[in-house]
Amino acid sequence: MTETEKKQPRISRYGIAVFVIVLAMLALMGWGLANNDNTRPQVGDEAPDLEFLFFDEFNPADAPVTDHGDTHLADYEGEIVVLNYWASWCIECIAETPELEAFHQKYKDEGVEVIGVAYTDIDTNSVEFLHRYGATYANAPDIGGRLSDTYKIVGVPETFVIDQDGVLVASFIGPVSAEQLEAVVESLR
């Protein structure tokens, strides 16, 4: 063996095996991402339906309740729906809640529904938060994360606006203001 051959590092069988395994895992992850049909709803898409079991005191008296005591997003056909994901532990949600309430008060008798979804929260904390920050619009817990999974939210707060035909017309990641929501609603009239 020459001096040059001695100085060249040799790749062990173990190193090759690890390299092949890592490469295969990266290829599988890439394939999975490229073939994932579970994408987030986009503006222009039909809004995925949800089933709400509202907190009792935040269940609107005129909610379209089925014989099972639950309400579906599809039941609001003909109305504009503002769907807001929030949590009692969310700092940005504190500033956003009065904005949503002001918007709700302005539009509640004009065919616009605000529905809040408490994301990964404890029910008592959610209800306490809603009282503390003066929310009176409909709110439901996200039991088992099924409501947030359907919309593939990336965090809280996050808001979706759905038109009278059930089409997603706007989405906001982060806090939304009453003015932003008003602009969307007025464009739908």
Q: Which CATH class is domain 51-187?
A: alpha beta
Q: What is the mean pLDDT of the chain?
A: 86
Q: Over 50: is that where the pLDDT of 169 sits?
A: yes
Local structure of 182: helix, strand or coil: helix
Q: Over 70: is that where the pLDDT of 136 sits?
A: yes
183 band by pLDDT with thresholds 50, 70 and 90 = very high
- 2-6, 9-13, 18-22, 76-80: least confident range: 2-6
Give CA separation, 25 vs 5, 20, 29, 99, 128, in Å. Answer: 33, 9, 6, 46, 46
pLDDT at 13: 79
Angle between helix 178-187 and helix 91-107 axes, rounded to 10 deg: 40
pTM above 0.85, yes or no: no
